[in-house]
Structure 1
């Protein structure tokens, strides 16, 4: 082979290798019809919209069931608390009054068999009554636990639906952005679809996501002395907080936060009884909580039920007040009935101090 032919072959080989290693970049969507792209995107967006609306209806239906169960669990909890108090009073009376020894004296003092039989029947009736009180308390506890478990199931199901809604919002946004990349940015139909997708993001049950989230305190930085001496005042409902913020968007899920205590005879900063932000009464037995006054949308939570967990105990309370507890690193403030139910050994607000709890608004 001549030198010229060899050179030609080498050049052809090099050119072929170069063309194979550096593939030409095709012009994206050059042959696509913009109207066809937008029609397909609109069809997908409408499909997502229908699914979103269906999920929203399911979430709202579950919320109605949750509200009904919340009323039931609050009633069951109150019955259980009152029953526990009554049973405790009976036991305390018997302990202090020496009723056991008194009943034995009645038996021993019987003058004959007939009187002994009558006295034994009398004592048997007393013991039956006490046994019935204990059984009633057990039944109340079982009813409370049953409703509480059912409430948890419903809330967990709703949270799954909310996660599905979040997925639908992401899908809607992706559809619009992909279509936007394939047609002109200033296309009027693209802008209309963006507005439709924005309704998924800001509309429906997730409207609270519009504003910045509140920070969750990681730990309580107050000393033990500050805990006992500094208590938030929750009755100043007209205070304007310059750092107004919306409630955290995940109050439907459990949050680990620092809680404080207020109200009742042991709180010298508030009247007893006092009036809460929504007009309820706060006294030594109130089963309510306060949320930060800095939440601009706090009013929408008044009347809602909060589930609070501490040291394995679950207590339900009504959101009915607001205060400045967030200045002290707290997110919720517990009224006396709540912190007493969470810790039966706690007798004052100062004794509760600032404690970490888990809570969610149902």
Structure 2
């Protein structure tokens, strides 16, 4: 075959290869942009859903306090039983009045228990709705990541096919088009890297006690370590680094603080909010890149079959990032701990909303 004809065939093959690559990359870019827009739109829905969850969660916590006070009063007073009413009644009129009082107390208790059941159901429903939206968003983000990877593969395949032709003149003739494809694929990769930067890094792995917990449910026992203050080094606990799934859940270590003993109760956090007996805040490590950007963000935490939504309002040393979260009193109490020392350091599942 004449050299001119071979060169023409080489150019034609190169053009066809790049035509197909450009067409597919254009489709991928459109699909990627659509997925990103859908993920951003879902974030608005998630933000609205989080407000509902926080409101419902607050009502549940207030209800638990009321029930606790009611049960505490019953315990301290010995309750109001029929026998006690009979013994304390001097006449029939007193007996009837006292029986009416007992009936009213029992009805009030039953009504408060029923209201609490309804509050718990409302919280569970709001949480389920929020999680469905967050799961849908994470699925869109995962699809977008796949599109970005596919774009890189399209460019790599096109480059390989041109190299196979072993026709330097043909490859050179389409070099600018290939460079443009590479730039387009790199732009998609940069968008994904920017999105990934908003997520926390993995914990620093340690050699002992690897966690086998899978999100969203974690239920290990408390460590024997003492609690750590948000700004102190404290007990680092044991962790092999968090496992991550496509729904954005991570598994990591969580310590606790907020007592008169550790000196943090009543103290201001990095955001200016005070640590109180009921504060639903958490601290994240100062060692995380752009750690202050997490302030004000909500984080969903799962442990022992229970889920709590807390707000990041503090920053701490936390063993140089060997722990992911430091829980304030409202959070560790919601998980059933009696004190931050009782909580110690435990493995939880969490994801930022």
**Take 1:143 and 1:156, find their aligned partners in 2: how far apart are those partners?**
20
1:17-71 deviation digits (Å, cap 9, x = unpaired): xxxxxxxxx99x8363434433332221111111111111111122222222222
Please tell me whether the aligned partners of residues 235 and 276 of structure 1 are also in contact (alpha carbons under 8 angstroms).
Answer: no
Q: SS of 2:284's equivalent?
A: strand
Residue 74 (structure 1) aligns with: 54
1:237-288 deviation digits (Å, cap 9, x = unpaired): xxxxxxxxxx9997962222111112232323x3x31222222222222111
Residue 175 (structure 1) aligns with: 154
Q: SS of 1:357's equivalent?
A: strand
Q: How does the TM-score come out when normalised to structure 2?
A: 0.78
**Take 2:200 and 2:250, find their aligned partners in 1: how far apart are those partners?**
17
1:303 aligns with 2:290: no
Residue 349 (structure 2) aligns with: 358
Match of 1:342 among 335, 340, 344: 335
1:60 aligns with 2:40: yes
Residue 227 (structure 1) aligns with: 225
**Take 2:243 and 2:232, find their aligned partners in 1: how far apart are those partners?**
23
Q: Could you list the runs of 5+ residues in structure 2 that have no partner in the other structure?
A: 1-5, 163-169, 210-221, 234-241
1:284-318 deviation digits (Å, cap 9, x = unpaired): 22111111111122233222211112222212211
Please tell me whether the aligned partners of residues 216 and 257 of structure 1 are also in contact (alpha carbons under 8 angstroms).
Answer: no
Residue 292 (structure 1) aligns with: 285
1:86 aligns with 2:86: no
Please tell me whether the aligned partners of residues 230 and 314 of structure 2 are also in contact (alpha carbons under 8 angstroms).
Answer: no
Please give the root-mean-square deviation of Cα atoms over the aligned residues, in Å: 3.3
1:88-118 deviation digits (Å, cap 9, x = unpaired): 11111111112314x6444555565555444
Q: How does the TM-score come out when normalised to structure 1?
A: 0.77
Residue 324 (structure 1) aligns with: 317
Q: SS of 1:184's equivalent?
A: helix
**Take 1:147 and 1:136, find their aligned partners in 2: how far apart are those partners?**
16
Deviation at 1:204, TM superposition (A): 5.7
Cα 1:351/1:107, change in 2 over 3 Å: same
Q: How does 1:98-177 map to 2 (within 5 A)?
A: 98-101=78-81, 104-110=83-89, 113=92, 115-177=94-156
For the pair shown, which has the larger CA radius of gyration, 1 or 2?
Answer: 1
Please tell me whether the aligned partners of residues 292 and 323 of structure 1 are also in contact (alpha carbons under 8 angstroms).
Answer: yes
Residue 313 (structure 1) aligns with: 306
Moved more, 211-220 or 291-300: 211-220
